[in-house]
Amino acid sequence: MPVNLLEVATSYFDNDLVGQISNMLGETQRNTQKTVEGALPSLLGGLAQKSSESGGTSTIMHLIGELMTPNQVTSKGLTPADDLLHNLSNILAKSDPSSNLLALGARITQSIFGEKTSPVTNALAAYSGVKQSSASSILNIAGPVLLSLLGQKSAGDGAGVSGLAALLKSQTSHVESAFPSGLGSLLAAIPGLGLLSRLANNPGAVSQEPIVRSQSSYPAYAEDEEAYSGGNRWLPWLLLALGALALFFVLRSCNKEEKPVDNPIEAVVDSTASTIQAATDSAGATLDSAAQAFKDATAKLGTFAKRKLPSGLELNIPELGIENKLIQFIEDKSKPIDKTTWFNFDRLLFDTGKSTLRPESQEQLTNIVAILKEYPNVHIKLGGYTDNTGSIALNKKLSQERANSVMGELVRQGIDQARLTAEGYGPEHPVASNDTPAGRVENRRIAIRVTQK
């Protein structure tokens, strides 16, 4: 009987490790466990789908090779797969190894799901009740674990590419039976997932009641506080309705001789049913809206495709993303360096009101590092910007701290700090009107300007 990779992978996520991850992410252990249980079959189903595509199995083999080779990610690198599996807790407990693992995991997740990465992550977060950033981090931890197991199995069998494809095909029944139905219905609503959608939406999947949270789509450069504030407007009404319903039963139990029709609470109960239904409808509409927002944001970047650098290194980047624009500018000798040509990050996220980069930012930052290493003569300036809400002084301070944070991450991944500068401009140089929420989102950004090439 073929090995059940899901069963083996799950064994590594014991209570101690799940507790460690939940503390690291600021989530409850129960919700973290639910996220792991949804992430593993999602990733394995995605790998099975990938292996059925032209060149997909070779891409998976390349990722396995990167994971199994020490010192591949940065100068400090990750340990080989065996060490990763048996020292996952130690890796996550240390800043540099943990960041390296999350960065590699982000590349793995992006390679598996491509432009569907954000919708899949959003669906996982909605199902399990964790933040979208936490769902992304758990996917980025689970991905290397699964690939490590695939690497071990492939190396042991010695069957090569065809053997790997056959192994992944043999896992589909395990994925199908392990999929939580609550997550499956959310994933099935995402177009273009192919095999993963069919496996996830299997009627015989494990039945679990989803914890549904309203998930607002995140802006490209920073937090969207206005989007957060509107996502749960139905919740107070739902709580009020439930409270009224409880009050009705308390009063009825205290005065059973009073006719229900004479009880004024009856009117509240009638409206309660309507309010609960409206709240339920609103929750569903919010989820649909969030999924559509993610789809729209991703669509604006164009199709993700492999971009080969002169060294032969391939980046999986969107057509209209900052990576493509930066490479084109660097390679075009006719494009002069000036003080007005800036390129905006489009997948860079910060914690609300802070300069702390979210784990989802790692993939794009790692791509920028790869580009800067490919063109060692290039120097850049990082500009931080905010909208005009609040104090100008505080906005300028925050924008400087965020620009510094990005610069620090580039340095941490091996870029000489002498090639980088950073400046926070606060609300100066807006690119859109601050009179609308959408405009303010555009103005909160981090940008790159080439100062030498």
Which of helix, strand or coil describes residue 449?
strand
Query: Would the pLDDT of 19 be above 90?
Result: yes
The helix (H) or strand (E) run that includes residue 364 is helix 362-374
pTM recorded for the entire structure:
0.47
DSSP 428: S
Determine the Cα–Cα distance for residues 167 and 152; give it in Å rounded to an integer.
Answer: 12
Q: How confident is the model over 432-440, as a mean pLDDT?
A: 89
Measured CA angle at 59 (ends 55, 65), to 5 deg? 145
Residues 302-452, CATH architecture? 2-Layer Sandwich (3.30)
Predicted confidence at residue 72, as pLDDT, reads 40
| Digit-coded pLDDT (tens) for 283-332 | 444 444 434 443 455 567 888 888 999 988 889 898 899 999 999 999 99
Residue listed under structure tokens 């702390």:
356
How confident is residue 359, by pLDDT bands cut at 50, 70 and 90? confident
Q: Where are the beta strands (DSSP E) in 182-277?
A: none
Neighbours of 296 (CB within 10 A): 10
Measured CA angle at 120 (ends 118, 122), to 5 deg? 65
Predicted confidence at residue 231, as pLDDT, reads 39
How confident is residue 336, by pLDDT bands cut at 50, 70 and 90? very high
Predicted confidence at residue 428, as pLDDT, reads 94
| Digit-coded pLDDT (tens) for 218-266 | 344 444 444 333 334 444 444 555 555 555 554 454 444 444 444 444 4
Neighbours of 191 (CB within 10 A): 10
Measured CA angle at 86 (ends 85, 89), to 5 deg? 90
Task: Give the CA count within 13 Å in the CB-facing half-sphere of 371.
Answer: 26
| Digit-coded pLDDT (tens) for 373-427 | 999 999 999 999 999 988 888 999 999 999 999 999 999 889 998 999 999 999 9
Determine the Cα–Cα distance for residues 135 and 125; give it in Å rounded to an integer.
Answer: 5
Going from N- to C-terminal start, the domains of the chain cover: 5-204, 228-298, 302-452
Predicted confidence at residue 100, as pLDDT, reads 81
